[in-house]
Amino acid sequence: MSKSLTLSHPTGVIHTSIKLPASKSEANRALIISVLSGSAAELHNLSEANDTQLLQRLLNSDSETIDAEDAGTVMRFLTAYYAITGQSKTLVGTERMCQRPIKVLVDALRELGASITYLGEEGYPPLKIEAFKGSGKKHLKVRSDISSQYISALLMVAPLLPEGLVLELDGKIGSRPYINMTLSLMKHFGVEAAFEGNIITVPHQKYKSASFEVESDWSAASYWYSIVALAKEADVTLLGLRKDSFQGDSAVADIMAHLGVYTSFTDKGIQLTKKHCEKFLSYDFSDCPDLAQTVVALGAALGVKLEITGLESLRIKETDRIQALQIELLSMGSKLEEITPGVFRMEPGIISKEKFNFRTYQDHRMAMAFAPLALLAPTQIQEPTVVRKSYPGFWEDLQKAAFEIKYND
């Protein structure tokens, strides 16, 4: 496997049509709900993303040790699934996964009667899960400002509990659209729930078998928006995206309307073309944290000043994404600074058009967010295979759009 690749785009003119990978968030919910329903659902367009392929394999595995690798949804959703169904499992993950907190979820599951032991540091994977002895408890207060994946994990198992579950969300609700996505998928599979104020109520119910078609991934679409914004000329069709999406990252269409990309919806997906770009953007990423890297890298490349909030969860994802962005932006003469607690300013610098070299920190989104800069200058990307987590065909799709790729040893 090459240690790095160098990308360039000789013409800067892009006319292409891309079949995006499917959403790993939708696919991983559908897989968990399908196994909870007890009858295999017909799932179409399951993502080729490693996070989804991995969950599929693990759900079919009899092994006692389960390796969630670097997949947050896999670790959190399986913890709740094994705990509530009382399966004896040891859940492990990458070194980084063992630095990503899971205490809020483990505390909640223990209150419901799960037996979970930390095998390493308190509050973090690896975990040992054993028999479930239902506590009969129905009301739980859970923090909602660290990761919405804890809430989604609890919601999906909630209908199995004899009393159902009432979750009181405590604090700011981060990544809220992912909670709504979970409730929408549950509804698709026949389970009703109510989300009013900060209270989510899920009565005891049975999932029904249904077929489900996973939509293309809007987070993956964001890198194509950057490409259109940076191209000299562009007309890009992205297949399989819908206006009435379950995915909060569909907000990328509104954000990019400020950064020079016009979106039109067709019956097959979306078409992206170029339009006027503004000089300043202020945005709160609380609902769509996975778009932050795309927008920050693009703002630096376009010379657009940004004022951004809602980045709290970025420090505990595949890497500390704020730190990774700060370092890589500095390498191109731009600055990302926290000016008051929680408020960041990105000041673009004068960009050298000679070449770029970006490190990726075992984070697929670092690789894909910076790759579009190859439209400005030859761009070296370290450890390019990281994209396999959500978009394994990313580099091949870039070649389809006439990017040239040289793999380095």
Ligand X SMILES: O=C(O)C1=C[C@@H](OP(=O)(O)O)[C@@H](O)[C@H](O)C1
Chain residues in the site for ligand X (CB under 6 A): 25, 73, 147-149, 152, 174-175, 178, 289-290, 313
Footprint of ligand PEP on residues 277-306 (CB under 6 A)? Answer: 290
Binding partner selected for residue 365 from ligand PEP, ligand X, none, CB under the kind-specific 5 to 8 Å limit: ligand PEP
Closer to ligand X by CB, 81 or 356: give it: 81
Q: CA quadruple 190, 192, 193, 194: dihedral positive or negative?
A: positive
365 binds ligand PEP (CB under 6 A): yes
Q: Minimum distance from CB of 152 to ligand X (Å)?
A: 5
Active-site pick, 51, 290, 363, 397: 290
- In angstroms, what is the minimal distance from the CB of 184 to ligand PEP? 18
Single out the segment in contact with ligand PEP by CB under 6 A; choices: 71-79, 124-132, 190-198, 223-231. Answer: 71-79
Q: What are phi and psi of 301, to 5 degrees?
A: -70, -35
Judged by beta carbon, residue 9 or residue 76, the one nearer ligand PEP is 76
Asked if 73 is part of the footprint of ligand PEP (rule: CB under 6 A), the reply reads: yes
Cβ–Cβ < 8 Å for 393, 220: no
In the list ligand PEP, ligand X, none, the entry touching 178 (Cβ below 5 to 8 angstroms by class) is: ligand X
Q: Rule CB under 6 A: say whether 93 interacts with ligand PEP.
A: no
39 known member of a binding site: no
Q: Which one, 151 or 230, has the nearer CB to ligand X?
A: 151
Beta strands (DSSP E) in 175-319 are: 194-196, 199-202, 211-213, 233-239, 259-265, 269-277, 280-284, 305-309
Q: How far is the CB of 384 from ligand PEP (least distance, A)?
A: 17
Min dist CB 303 to ligand X, Å, is: 28
The two three-digit tokens of residue 168, written as one number: 């009181």
> In sequence order, what DSSP letters do the residues of 126-181 get, joined into one string?
-EEEE--------EEEEE-SS-HHHHHHHHHHGGGSTT-EEEEEES--TTHHHHHH
Sign of CA dihedral 20, 393, 99, 68: positive
Sheet holding 13-19, edge to edge: 13-19, 233-239, 269-277, 259-265
Residue nearest to ligand PEP (CB): 72
175 among annotated binding-site residues: yes
71 binds ligand PEP (CB under 6 A): yes
From the CA atom positions of the chain, what is the Rg in Å? Answer: 21
- 409 as an active site residue: the answer is no
The residues facing 311 across adjacent strands are none
Q: How far is the CB of 41 from ligand X (least distance, A)?
A: 18
Residue 29, interface with ligand PEP (CB under 6 A)? no
Sheet holding 4-8: strands in order across?
356-358, 379-382, 4-8, 404-408
290 is an annotated ligand-binding site residue: yes
Question: How far apart are the C-alpha atoms of 182 and 246, rounded to whole Å?
Answer: 9
Q: Judging by DSSP bridges, how do beta strands 233-239 and 89-92 pair with one another?
A: unpaired
Give the three-state DSSP class for 12.
coil
Say which DSSP state 99 is in: G
| Binding region for 3-phosphoshikimate | 24-25, 29, 147-149, 175, 290, 317
Interface residues with ligand PEP (CB under 6 A) are 71-73, 290, 317-318, 365, 390
Catalytic residue numbers? 290
| Binding region for phosphoenolpyruvate | 24, 72, 100, 149, 321, 365, 389
